[in-house]
Amino acid sequence: MRVVNPQKPGRHTILVVDDDPPLREVVRYALTREGFHVLEAADGAAALELFEARAPDLLVLDVSMPELDGFSLCRTLRARSDVPILFLSSRADELDRVLGLELGGDDYVTKPFSTRELVTRVKVILRRPRSKPQPDAPAPSPEAPPLERGPLRLSPEAHRVWARDQEVSLTATEFRLLEVLMRRPSRVFTREELSARAYPDARHVSGRTLDSHIRRIRGKLRAVDVDAIETVHGVGYRLREDPGDGPTPR
């Protein structure tokens, strides 16, 4: 992590989180030139530590990072703060943008980008009034409701999955794949679409690798008599309409 320039009274502090040092340098230069105070972190875990210590006014947050990706960091922050978040990502698919905004992001900018546009978007976000709870209003729930489909329950906040009330241990990639399918249970996803959401760099992921992850998810769920993922031959995968029917004979 890196702190650039001592902070002056009245200046907004921006935390730039990206694992690409040259990109962070470009964003840092553009923001400091406009009078912002800039903090930098190379991954989500370091960003969370810096957020707790320095309480920035806004995050410019990459999606694909080691340790803790941008979507996961956004979920964690939204459980405790309404700090503005601007996603900065090479993942330009509509579903990624929608997911980023649904998780609580204020804006989503795709790479490559114009630094002038980025700075303008940061200024616009900072001008927006942040909602404040009314004195007599109940405190908001710190955790979003889990996704549920038949006997399947997935908690994005806790990063946990249950099938027939038994917890199922999934890797981070397996969890992201299942989460994508559960968010749009009636949709068929191609292998390319699933790869773009489950891996930091889908260009280096073969269909065979993704099929292996799907096979492992199926095996773990079938161990508790849940058959959740359906193959649509020639297209891809989708969540079964009734994941509680038990394993389908092969």
pLDDT in tens, 96-119: 778 888 888 888 998 888 999 999
Same domain, yes or no: 199 and 113: no
* pLDDT reading at 206 higher than 50: yes
Same domain, yes or no: 102 and 18: yes
Half-sphere exposure of 237 (CA within 13 A, CB side): 25
Same domain, yes or no: 151 and 123: no
- 3 bridge partner residues: 39
Residue ending a domain, among 64, 94, 127, is 127
Q: Would you place residue 170 in the very low, low, confident or very high pLDDT band (cuts 50, 70, 90)?
A: confident
Same domain, yes or no: 101 and 7: yes
Q: Read off the pLDDT of residues 208-244 as tens digits, 9 standing for 90 and up.
A: 778 888 999 999 999 999 999 999 998 999 998 776 6
- Asked, for residue 94, whether it belongs to a domain, the answer is yes
- Asked, for residue 48, whether it belongs to a domain, the answer is yes
Same domain, yes or no: 121 and 157: no
Tell me the C-alpha to C-alpha distance, in Å, between residue 203 and each of 18, 85, 90, 178, 197: 19, 27, 12, 20, 12
What is the pLDDT at residue 202?
44
Same domain, yes or no: 87 and 167: no
Tell me the C-alpha to C-alpha distance, in Å, between residue 53 and each of 34, 47, 139: 24, 10, 24
- Asked, for residue 141, whether it belongs to a domain, the answer is no
Provide the domain count of the chain. 2
- Asked, for residue 142, whether it belongs to a domain, the answer is no
- Asked, for residue 86, whether it belongs to a domain, the answer is yes
Long-range Cβ pairs for the range 101-108 (8 Å, 24+): 103/71, 103/74, 103/75, 103/78, 103/156, 104/74, 104/75, 104/77, 104/78, 105/61, 105/74
What is the pLDDT at residue 38?
95
- Asked, for residue 246, whether it belongs to a domain, the answer is no
Same domain, yes or no: 110 and 158: no
Same domain, yes or no: 71 and 6: yes
- 166 bridge partner residues: 163
Q: Would you place residue 8 in the very low, low, confident or very high pLDDT band (cuts 50, 70, 90)?
A: very low
Residue ending a domain, among 127, 161, 191, is 127
What is the pLDDT at residue 163?
93
* pLDDT reading at 207 higher than 50: yes
Beta strands 236-239 and 160-163: pairing type?
A: unpaired
What is the pLDDT at residue 130?
58
What is the pLDDT at residue 6?
41
The two tokens of residue 7 are: 């902070």
Same domain, yes or no: 119 and 12: yes
* pLDDT reading at 201 higher than 50: no
What pTM does this model have? 0.53
* pLDDT reading at 40 higher than 80: yes
Same domain, yes or no: 231 and 169: yes
- Asked, for residue 250, whether it belongs to a domain, the answer is no
Residue ending a domain, among 67, 95, 127, is 127
80: containing domain: 2-127
Q: Which residue has the higher pLDDT, 91 or 189?
A: 189
Q: At what angle do helices 191-198 and 207-222 cross, to 10 degrees?
A: 80
CATH number at 52 reads 3.40.50.2300
Q: Read off the pLDDT of residues 128-163 as tens digits, 9 standing for 90 and up.
A: 775 544 444 444 445 567 889 889 999 988 888 999
CATH number at 201 reads 1.10.10.10
Q: Would you place residue 44 in the very low, low, confident or very high pLDDT band (cuts 50, 70, 90)?
A: confident
Same domain, yes or no: 187 and 106: no
User: In this structure, how many other beta carbons lie within 10 angstroms of the beta carbon of residue 101?
Assistant: 14
**pLDDT-wise least confident of 2-6, 157-161, 189-193, 219-223:** 2-6
Half-sphere exposure of 83 (CA within 13 A, CB side): 26
- Asked, for residue 199, whether it belongs to a domain, the answer is yes
Same domain, yes or no: 109 and 190: no
The helix (H) or strand (E) run that includes residue 48 is helix 44-54
What is the pLDDT at residue 35?
94
